[in-house]
Amino acid sequence: MALFRKLGTLNVLKVTSRPLSSATPDVRIYEVGPRDGLQNEAKFVPTDIKVELIHKLADAGIKHIESASFVSPKWVKQMSDGVDVMKNLKRAPGVNYPVLIPNLKGYETAKKCNIEEIAIFPAGSEGFSQKNLNCSVEEGLRRFKEVAEAAVKDGIRVRGYVSCVVGCPYDGPIKPKVIAKITEELFAMGCYEVSLGDTIGVGTAGSVRALLRELRPAAGALALHLHDTYGQALASLLAGLEFGINTIDSSISGLGGCPYARGASGNLATEDLVYFLYGLGVNTNIDIIKLLEAGRYISSFLGKMTESKVNRALGDRFKNHEDVIKIATCNV
Taking the C-alpha atoms of residue 1 and residue 331, their distance in angstroms, rounded to an integer, is 46
| Strand ordering across the sheet containing 68-69 | 28-31, 247-250, 222-226, 193-198, 157-162, 117-120, 99-100, 68-69
Helix pair 321-328, 270-279: axis angle to 10 deg: 60
Q: Which residues contact 241 (CB under 8 A, 6 or more apart)?
A: 20, 25, 27
Taking the C-alpha atoms of residue 129 and residue 325, their distance in angstroms, rounded to an integer, is 42
What are the two backbone dihedrals, phi and then psi, of residue 208, each rounded to the nearest 5 degrees? -70, -40
The count of other CB atoms within 10 Å of the CB of residue 313 is 12
Whether the CB-CB separation of 31 and 250 falls below 8 Å is answered with: yes
Taking the C-alpha atoms of residue 67 and residue 211, their distance in angstroms, rounded to an integer, is 29
Among this protein's residues, is 258 annotated catalytic?
yes
Is the Cα torsion angle 248, 254, 255, 256 positive or negative in sign? positive
Of 15, 161, 27, 40, nearest to 99 by C-alpha is: 161
Q: Which amino acid is at 93?
A: P
Strands (E), 25-103: 28-31, 68-69, 99-100
DSSP code of 166? S
3-class secondary structure, 28: strand
Is the Cα torsion angle 29, 35, 36, 38 positive or negative in sign? positive
Catalytic residue among 113, 191, 258, 330: 258
- Active-site annotation, residues: 258
